[in-house]
Structures are given as C-alpha cells and as structure tokens.
Amino acid sequence: MNAYPVRYSVDKPARFTRLQLLVRVLAFVVLGMLGLSLGLLFMAAYVALPVFAAARLSGRDAASYLEEDGPRVVRALRWFAAIFAWLGLASETLPVHSPEETVHLDVEPSGQPTVSSALWRLLIGLPSALLLGVLAFVGSFVWLWAVLSVLVSERVGDGAFGFLAGLQRWSIRLLAYQASLVDPYPPFSFDDRPAPRLPSARVAP
C-alpha cells in the first residue's frame, strides 16, 4: 500500500528558548483579544477551502484546478502549517522567507473533483474534524506540559513533541482533503500510513 499523498514533517529543534515561548504567549493574548483561537482559525479554513474549490471548479475541469490552483493552495497550506507549528510548539521560530525553513509539506494531487464533490466534503470531513477536535483538547494539556518543560530545561520530550507534531500532520492532511487536492480520505493517524478505505466525496454533477 502506498503512503498517503500528503506528507508533512517538521524537524524537532534541539532547543526551545524561553524568549520564543514568551512571544507565543503574547501572540495567544493578541488572538484572544481579537476573539480568535487556533480552533476557530482551523474551522474557518475547513469551511473556506471546499467553498473556494467549488467556486474555482465551476465551469472548469478538475485537471485545470489541480494544475493551476493546486500549487497556490499548497503554498498557502505550507504557511498555515508553519505558523501553527510555531504556535503549537512543533517548531522553534517562525519562517522569515519561506515556510520550508521550518516545515516540510508535499502534496501529490489526485482525483477528479467537481463542484458537488468539493461541497460534500464539508459534511464528509466532519468525522475526521470532530476526532481531531477531541485530540486537540488532549493536546492542549500536552502543550502546557511542553511549556513547563521549556521553562525548566528549554527542551520538549520526544513523546510530547511527537503528539504535537502529529496533530499538525492530521490537521494539514484534512485541510488538503477539504481543498479537493487529494481524493483519499485522510487517515485517522498521526503517522505516515496508508489511507483507510472510506467513502469517497465524489458525487455525480
């Protein structure tokens, strides 16, 4: 079986500094003052990407969408991943020039998306999104533990880092699926494993 067509990885920093931790806390304070959270930002992307895909697929074929819009969406997902990896203690710094400075994301486009299949993903993606929400709740406690580790030793344990990076991988795979860039349903896994056989979002136009 082949690996899932969305591959995400982030290199564990040798050291997490207390200064960067303070900057993260200030960033969360600013987001809170604006009435925003990481969960709200993710759900906005979850809804916006299928709508964007449907709008771009209207009057166009799947190949044109994947070839012309696909690279731009992947680029946006890379920046999304890099910012969330920093906030989520999976990377130490924000990238300056390119998201590839901190995260690695490759997408192999697949499938024949249509307007209807893109919009159906708003519903079909919910099982993955709901489970991700539960794991993210658990992850908030893992994040707090990682914060304490950084304060004490400027390190994050392998277990905590693996969990936090796994959350990032799951979320990015789901968003790539929501954007109709790939056809296989994202795996319910933190690891790079083959996709499960779940119902496709392909619907007759």
Question: pLDDT digit string (tens) for 77-117?
Answer: 999 999 999 999 999 999 989 999 999 999 999 999 999 99
Query: Which pTM value belongs to this model?
Result: 0.90
- Residue 91, helix vs strand vs coil: coil
- Please state, in angstroms and rounded to a whole number, the distance separating the CA atoms of residues 14 and 112: 42
Contact between 182 and 109 under an 8 Å Cβ cutoff? The reply is: yes
Query: In the predicted model, what is the mean pLDDT of residues 29-54?
Result: 94
Averaged confidence pLDDT in the chain: 91
Residue with tokens 């277990």: 159
Is it the case that residue 127 has pLDDT exceeding 80?
Answer: yes
Contact between 108 and 118 under an 8 Å Cβ cutoff? The reply is: no
Write down the pLDDT at residue 60: 86
- Please state, in angstroms and rounded to a whole number, the distance separating the CA atoms of residues 202 and 32: 38
Is it the case that residue 169 has pLDDT exceeding 90?
Answer: yes
